[in-house]
Every structure is written in C-alpha cells, then in structure tokens.
Amino acid sequence: MNMHEPERPLLEVDGLEVSFAARRRTRTKVLKGVSFDIRPAETFGLVGESGSGKTTIGRAVLGLVPVQAGTITFDGERIERAAPRRRRELSRDLQVIFQDPYTSLNPSFSIGDTLMEPLIAQGTTVREARGRVGELLERVRLPADAADRLPREFSGGQRQRVAIARALALRPKLIVCDEPVSALDLTTQHTVLELLLEIQDQTAVSYLFVSHDLSVVRAMSHRVAVIHQGELVETGEADQVTARPEHPYTRALMLSAPVADVHEQRRRRRELAQETGAS
C-alpha cells in the first residue's frame, strides 16, 4: 500500500438514525444522524452519559436494532439491512463483549462449550475447535482446566475473560465492547483493559469501545466521539478531545468525572457550576 494513501476504514457509519416506538403511535429518535469511521487496528471510543444512545450505536452496528436512515459499511459492504443469514456469516468478523459477565454467559454451558459454540456454528470440526479452546484460554490467561468448569465457578473478571475469549474465537476484525469493565472493581478493570490492549497489539483487531467513563475511554482509544442526546457533538484524537474539549457538553462531562485529589475535585465542581451557570 502507498504510505500516503489513507487506509480504507473498516467500519463507516454515515447519517445513522434510529428511533423506537413511543406512546400514542409516536416515535422517539434515539440517534440523530450519527457519522464516524473506524480504521483497522484502531480503537474508537464512544463516551456519553446514560441514555445518550451509546449502546444503540453498537447494537445498530451488530444488526440488533432496525435502522431508519443512514448507512453502515463494514469492510466495504453495506450491512445496515443485512439479511439474517448474512448477519450470521458476518459474526465471523464482527463480535461483541457485553457489560455484564454474569448474564452474558450461558450458566449451564461449560467454559469449553461456550468457546466451542461459535466455532462449531461456523463449521469448524469438533477436534479443531477443542484445540482452539486451549489456545483461547491461554490467550486470556485462564488455566486449561477452566474448559471443564461452569461460569458460576468464576469471578466477574474471569467471566469477562471468557467473554473476551469467546469474542476472539472466530478471529474477528471488529469487536463492539459495550461497557466491558463497568461491572468490575477497579483492579479487575485494569487487568481486563490491559488484556484488551495486548490482544489488539497481537491481532490488529479494531474496537468500538463504548463507556460512560471518560477516563476508561481515554485510556483505551485512539479517537473518541462524545455523544449527547443521540448526536455526536465532538469527534477527534483522544488526547485532543480530552485535553482541549471544544463542546460545552464535553467540558461538563470532563469536569464531572471524579478525580482522586479532593482539592482538584472541589476546583472542578466550582468550574462546572460556573460553566452551567453561564450557559
């Protein structure tokens, strides 16, 4: 490839609109013309407060909610209205890790069966799939004997490692990470985030990384988009958006994030009060 030619994005979302049925035959617009792209091996962070529409963007990319307008192009293919069969095929390249490791794993499946399921569904032989389970457990640093055990025998952090291993089973190009560490304590959050970074270094997978936590998004992402009431109000390099936020909402989001220093916390509260008082 020519070094000066920009790489084709892996995912392009353009003018995405999603609405849900509300009362009295009206619809609520949850996404209002959302556009962004993600390059190969890039982490694109989406940050915004609860209800802003982050999860809906991830779900639209995965084909889990109907799209009213706009396009979603994945690896050169329009997928916003892909048929169910094509969707199943696309799951080879497009995977997800959900927030809650307690509900996202089938409690009656052993870890080995959980990891084998996507492989068998895509036509891998049982013998090959067993071998791959060992590799996957090693990659997420779980012991080989985890394969024979049930999810209830594992902690939240270990379960999230299983969910990561399952998402990796088919060697996807993009993983939608929807609040992947929000249900974990701080130390466990750190090790899971480190694992995601290490996997990206090794596999060049891209992440669409959704979180309400700006510090987590900043630590993980190359570029960041800030979503507010269904609209992307600011998109840019992670350092730029977090160090020099341009949009008032981004500034408010930054100022309201908790910090370890109590004096800094108070200073930010005053600044936030001034900002919101002024607007």
Query: Which residues of the shown chain bind ligand ATP in the complex (CB under 6 A)?
Result: 20, 30, 48, 50-56, 212
We find the least distance from the C-beta atom of residue 65 to ligand ATP, in angstroms, to be 7
Give the integer Cα–Cα distance in Å for 103 and 178. Answer: 14
Q: What's the full length of the chain, in residues?
A: 279
- Residue nearest ligand ATP by beta-carbon distance: 55
Three-state secondary structure call for residue 250: helix
Q: Which is nearer to ligand ATP, 37 or 49 (CB)?
A: 49
We find the least distance from the C-beta atom of residue 209 to ligand ATP, in angstroms, to be 13
Q: What is the dihedral of CA 79, 83, 89, 91, to 10 degrees?
A: 60
Q: Which is nearer to ligand ATP, 72 or 170 (CB)?
A: 72
Give the pair of three-digit tokens for residue 261.
């220093």
Q: Rounded to the nearest 5 degrees, what angle is found at the Cα of 84, between the Cα atoms of 79 and 90?
A: 50
Give the integer Cα–Cα distance in Å for 20 and 106. Answer: 28
Q: Which is nearer to ligand ATP, 20 or 102 (CB)?
A: 20
Give the integer Cα–Cα distance in Å for 117 and 114. Answer: 6
We find the least distance from the C-beta atom of residue 21 to ligand ATP, in angstroms, to be 7
Give the integer Cα–Cα distance in Å for 184 and 57. Answer: 23
We find the least distance from the C-beta atom of residue 52 to ligand ATP, in angstroms, to be 4
| 85 Cα distance to chain centroid | 23
Give the pair of three-digit tokens for residue 68.
């009213």
Q: Which is nearer to ligand ATP, 58 or 118 (CB)?
A: 58
First to last CA, the chain: 48
Q: Give the containing element (helix H, strand E) for 190.
A: helix 186-203
We find the least distance from the C-beta atom of residue 216 to ligand ATP, in angstroms, to be 13
Residue 178 amino acid letter: D
We find the least distance from the C-beta atom of residue 51 to ligand ATP, in angstroms, to be 4
We find the least distance from the C-beta atom of residue 39 to ligand ATP, in angstroms, to be 23
Q: Which is nearer to ligand ATP, 2 or 26 (CB)?
A: 26
Q: Which is nearer to ligand ATP, 170 or 216 (CB)?
A: 216
